[in-house]
C-alpha cells in the first residue's frame, strides 16, 4: 500500500480513529486504509464511467 498517492499514513489513521474512541493496531489501520482507497477508486471509476 505504500505509494505516492497515499496521503494518510496508518499512524495518522490510528490517531484520527483514537480521537473518536476507536483503538486499532497499525495492521488494522493499514487494512482500513486499503479498504477506503478501494472504495474511493470504485466510486471515482463509477462516476467517471471508467471500467474497473
Domain boundaries, the chain: 10-48
**pLDDT-derived band of residue 27, with 50, 70 and 90 as boundaries?**
very high
Q: How many CB atoms lie within 10 A of CB 14?
A: 19
Regarding pTM above 0.85, the answer is: no
Q: What angle do helix axes 26-48 and 10-19 make, rounded to 10 degrees?
A: 100
* CB-based contact 30:1 (threshold 8 Å): yes
* CB-based contact 29:19 (threshold 8 Å): no
pLDDT at position 28, please?
Answer: 98
* CB-based contact 1:34 (threshold 8 Å): yes
**pLDDT-derived band of residue 47, with 50, 70 and 90 as boundaries?**
confident
* CB-based contact 38:18 (threshold 8 Å): no
Amino acid at each position: 500500500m505504500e505509494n505516492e498517492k497515499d496521503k494518510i499514513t496508518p499512524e495518522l489513521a490510528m490517531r484520527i480513529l483514537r480521537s473518536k474512541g476507536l483503538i486499532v493496531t497499525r495492521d488494522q489501520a493499514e487494512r482500513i486504509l486499503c479498504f477506503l482507497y478501494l472504495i474511493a477508486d470504485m466510486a471515482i471509476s463509477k462516476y467517471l464511467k471508467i471500467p474497473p
